[in-house]
Structure 1
Amino acid sequence: MENWWPAPFTGAPVHATVNVPASKSLTNRYLILAALASSPSTIHNTLISRDTELMLAALETFGVGIKRTEQPDGSTTVVITPADQLNQAQPDGSALRIECGLAGTVMRFVPPLAAVAKARVHFDGDPAARLRPMAPVLDGLGALGATFDYPQAKGMLPFTIDASDVRVSDTVIVDASGSSQFVSALLLAGHALPGGLRLRAADGPVASPDHIMMTVQTLREMGVEISVDADSRGWRISEGSIDGFTVTVEPDLSNAGPFLAAALASNGSVGIRFWPQQTTQVGGKWVQILKSMGAEVEHGADSVLTVRGTGKIKGITYADASELAPTLAALCVLADSPSKLTGIGHLRGHETDRLAALETELPKVGATVKATEDTLEIIPGSLHAADLHSYEDHRMATAGALLGLAVDGIRVENIATTAKTMPQFPQLWAQMVDTSKDRG
């Protein structure tokens, strides 16, 4: 049975300051590196969501120790104690079993951990996860000596990896056109592989290079020796160990996007607390995107990033929006002129085919939308109520919520899918709207 959430509508400007949860991308990168460290690590402000719970469970399967502490401010601190030796099998000698859910960072980042452990591991996930591309990272591990058993489709979940013969290898070539995670997955484990890792992207586009740079900078932050080729398509990592570390995870700037966009959608103002001065997150692009669309943006000395609507939402031509595209596309529906989003073909392999989903759902509220292989063209129209499907995709759900703020009568299917990276989203969104009503 479909579960429809009436998106809160406000006919008045929204005025709110919001705390968004921590970054999923950074949390799961830190968790992988902590599991590979030589001593315990402490991760403050750890995101607790479905994706990170699945990652924590995967690490425990390998024998990594996990200790959580709830802090007075509501955040969670996790202490990761590496295993003396990563588990290679269940007590009965059978393959370890990893549940990936719909988490790309689990299904792609954890198989290289199996390679480090030289373990035999079975991976599976949600039905929708079995449609997500996996082959490039698995082919990369195959070049290092891992073998695979595919009970259904080659290069897809479910599969069992046998990494007992992983060895030193010459340059590994990976097709990075479908997801940056294919590169990041191998880079994160590269220092712990025999002989380190020499990796090159195959000819063709490289999806979301910002996320790869996030991985590179995170590795350097932990002391990993990594060099990047002059063309930014190759990476060399020296074999070595990393010490345990202490970090505080930044807010998830991508998840902040719908809240910031709400300022334009309602001609109000929204602030996000603890916005970093510098970041490797792709969500940092919201500052320039929203300015280009007509917003006033201020980053205060109190670390609050405030976006103010000016009564005008301009159409935009923008390349490489990556995971920001669903929210950006929804905002483009509310603009006063057409928009074109390019370089986002890799979104067809995310939680759903996001380009196809946006092309199907946005016209329901009155826009004209055309999707090509890697582009969305959006022409605003006369807006009206509609029921919008989420496709079990958290970013489709939050895009629907943004439209509901400006269009009365929007319902979003299964808003609970936002628990993938932001379990508090429905409450935070309703609180933002209710606070604004109180002011009115």
Structure 2
Amino acid sequence: MSEPATPDEPTDLWPAPRPRDAVDRVVSLPGSKSLTNRALLLAALADGPSVVRRPLRSRDTLLMAAALGALGTGLEDQDGDWAVTPAPWESDAAVDCGLAGTVMRFVPPVAGLARGTVAFDGDPHMRLRPVGPMLSALAALGVRIDDGGRGALPFAVHGAGEVPGGTVTIDASASSQFVSALLLAGARYEHGVDVRHVGKPVPSLPHIEMTVQMLRQHGVEVDDHDANRWAVAPGPVRAVDHDIEPDLSNAAPFLALGAATGGRVTVTDWPAETTQPGDELREILTRMGCEVTLADGDLTVVGPERLSGVDLDLHDVGELTPAVAALCALADSPSHLRGIAHIRGHETDRLAALATELGRLGADVTEREDGLSIRPAALHGGTFHTYADHRMAHAGVILGLAVDDVLVEDVATTSKTFPDFASAWTRAVHGTAT
């Protein structure tokens, strides 16, 4: 446990807007990053053209589209949708991962199917994010990897046009994306892929369930009956059009707007059934004292007079931690957030960053090895650093709902998954539907 490196003195400080009364808002959200990037990758592997409808267009998804385009896939804008045409991958390429874990982890297993060398690099912090176990797994499956023994960016995949595949053992306790990455490409491997996890529990299992469901939609046979084992049979990936759901994790700050103000917020087009981890917000907010209803595709949250603290294991939904932690800092009883040691390897060490930044604004926070304990305390304004992490920005703006003079550093980092978030947030707080 350690405090993250303090950023340079920030110059791009954004005053978080604060409502003066309980709000009553209706909000529409852009599409899911997780679904968009999986849909794009499967479309590139498919046996014919397809369309990804209502995709998220953000830094992460544009990086995925650029990566697949660099390999030779055809992508055409059709009134905001993406028309994807698979094509042979027969030349060298360079892939910019930016800060997108899905690009760094999902594209290398696909690059093994190319005929040429594919070089991967990204933003400086991405060289610290874990990818070594997946690269070792790829090597065991017959893909030639050149990473200088670092198990990190930058690295190169030397594609031979085909991958033998087969059975591989991996420790995916640092990221569920290690498993999803292998499964997404596995049907195109000569012997498919049989992934077996060993180690501590895999975090964010709903994301693996999302991957399995989407593979089955493409006609891919997946056996996931045994715990910690996922087997993908070799075969074609059928071309399927996808309609992308709204990003439910990005709903967190907007639902928090209702929760923190004792007001009402409705998010439209909430799916009745979904594999997105963000759906767990319904249960979390209920436990914090909110009234939560889902009817006719609209999710409505009505906030209580005072938020209640919670004791939560967020292991499967770690990406929600920053928003939930911010709400806990506004609650009138203690909270304990557990099972989330793995989020230290996200865009930043989120546990250390949250403990530091919440503490800077007066919160009583104890950082633990696998979580945070947060007790009621008087909060005050100040600068909330984000460490180039979009979820940290969400935490900052949520605090600004109840605390004057919160300045969120680099709010533009939210473009990773939500273009123009700051404008959408301002409109929501001050009364114009997004």
Give TM class, smaller chain: over 0.9
8 Å Cα contact 1:11-1:406 kept in structure 2:
no
1:118 CA drift (Å): 4.7
Residue number among 220, 226, 241 corresponding to 1:224 in the alignment: 220
Question: Which of the residues 360, 365, 370 maps onto 2:366?
Answer: 370
Amino acid paired to 1:134:
V
Q: Distance in 2 between matches of 1:204 and 1:251?
A: 31
Q: CA deviation at 1:145?
A: 1.9
Match among 257, 263, 268 for residue 262 of structure 1: 257
1:420 corresponding residue in structure 2 = 416
- Matched with 1:82 is 86
Question: Is the Cα contact below 8 Å between 1:145 and 1:167 reproduced in 2?
Answer: yes
Q: Which of residues 184, 195, 200 in structure 1 aligns to 2:196?
A: 200
Identity of aligned residues (%): 49
* Residue aligning to 2:241: 246
Distance 1:11 1:365 in 2: 20
Where 2:281 maps in the other structure, the secondary structure is helix
**Mapping of residues 298-309 of structure 1, within 5 Å:** 298-301=293-296, 303-309=297-303
Structure 1 pair 18–146 and aligned structure 2 pair: CA distance change class (3 A): same
8 Å CA contact 1:20–1:256 kept in 2: the answer is yes
Q: Distance in 2 between matches of 1:226 and 1:158?
A: 31
Structure 2 distance, partners of 1:222, 1:316, is 40
What are the Cα deviations for residues 222-260 of structure 1, in whole angstroms up to 9, with x where unaligned? Answer: 2110001422x0011110112211111000000001100
Partner residue, 2:178: 182
Whether 2:395 is the aligned partner of 1:399: answer yes
Deviation at 1:146, TM superposition (A): 2.1
Mapped pair 1:133 → 2:133? no
Are 2:119 and 1:122 equivalent residues in the alignment? yes
| Between 382-391 and 157-166, the greater mean CA deviation after superposition | 157-166
Q: Does 1:102 align with 2:105?
A: no
SS of the aligned residue for 1:254 comes to coil
CA distance in 2, matches of 1:169, 1:37: 18
SS at match of 1:129: helix
| CA deviation after TM superposition for structure 1 residue 103, in Å | 0.3
2:305 equivalent to 1:311:
yes
The CA deviation string for residues 281-336 of structure 1, in whole angstroms up to 9 with x for no partner, is 000000111011000111122x1111001212010111123100000000000001
Q: How does 1:329-408 map to 2 (within 5 A)?
A: 329-408=325-404
Kept in 2: contact 1:177–1:205 (CA 8 A): yes
Shift of 1:422: 0.1
User: What is the alpha-carbon distance in structure 2 between the residues aligned to residue 163 and residue 244 of structure 1?
Assistant: 23
Distance 1:181 1:373 in 2: 22
Residue 168 of structure 1: how far off its partner (Å): 2.6
Counterpart for residue 145 of structure 2: 148
Letter aligned with residue 122 of structure 1: A
CA distance in 2, matches of 1:164, 1:222: 25
* Equivalent position amino acid for 1:114 in 2: A
Instruction: Look up the match of 2:4.
Output: none
Q: Distance in 1 between matches of 2:104 and 2:419?
A: 21
Q: Tell me the CA shift for residue 167 of structure 1.
A: 4.2
Structure-1-length-normalised TM-score? 0.93
Residue 273 of structure 2 corresponds to which residue in structure 1? 278
* Range with bigger deviation, 170-179 or 406-415: 170-179
Query: What is the rounded CA distance, in whole Å, between the counterparts of 2:161 and 2:71 in structure 1?
Result: 18
CA–CA distance in structure 1, aligned partners of residues 198 and 167 of structure 2 = 11
Contact 2:165 2:186 in 1 (8 A): no
- Counterpart of 2:5 in structure 1 is none
User: Structure 1: 5+ residue runs without aligned partners?
Assistant: 71-75, 91-95
Q: How many residues align?
A: 422
Amino acid of the residue matched to residue 139 of structure 1?
S
Check whether the contact 2:268–2:298 (CA below 8 A) recurs between aligned residues.
yes
Q: Which of residues 1, 9, 28 in structure 1 aligns to 2:18?
A: 9
8 Å contact kept, 1:214–1:280: yes
The question of whether the paired residues in 1 share the 8 Å contact of 2:334 and 2:375 is answered with yes
Q: Is the 8 A contact 1:6 1:411 kept in 2?
A: yes
CA contact (8 A) 2:166 2:192 kept: no
Q: Kindly state the Cα deviation for residue 136 of structure 1 after the two structures are TM-superposed.
A: 1.2
> What amino acid is the match of 2:55?
T
SS across alignment from 1:245 = coil
CA contact (8 A) 2:165 2:189 kept: no
- Further displaced range: 221-230 or 342-351: 221-230
Partners of 2:283 and 2:140 in 1: CA distance: 41
Letter in 1 for 2:98: G
Deviation readout 1:248-280 (Å, 9 max, x if unpaired): 100000000110011111111111010000000
- Report how far residue 166 of structure 1 moved: 5.7
Equivalent of 2:318 in 322, 346, 352: 322
Give 4+ residue runs of structure 1 displaced > 3 Å after superposition: none
CA distance in structure 1 between the aligned counterparts of 2:215 and 2:31, rounded to whole angstroms: 19
| Deviation per residue, 1:385-426 (Å, 9 max, x gap) | 121000000000011001011111100000000000001211
Deviations 1:80-106 (A, max 9, x none): 0000x223x24xxxxx11001000000
Deviations 1:358-377 (A, max 9, x none): 11111122211122221211
Give the TM-score of the pair, scaled to structure 2: 0.95
Cα distance change on mapping 1:27 and 1:169 into 2, 3 Å: closer
Q: 1:218 and 1:267, CA in 2 relative to 1: closer, same or farther beyond 3 A?
A: same
CA distance in 1, matches of 2:166, 2:30: 40
Q: Distance in 2 between matches of 1:333 and 1:121?
A: 45
2:24–2:265 contact (8 Å) kept in structure 1:
yes
Number of the residue aligned with 1:73: none
Distance 1:328 1:195 in 2: 43
- How far apart, CA to CA, are the structure 2 residues paired with 1:342 and 1:357? 16
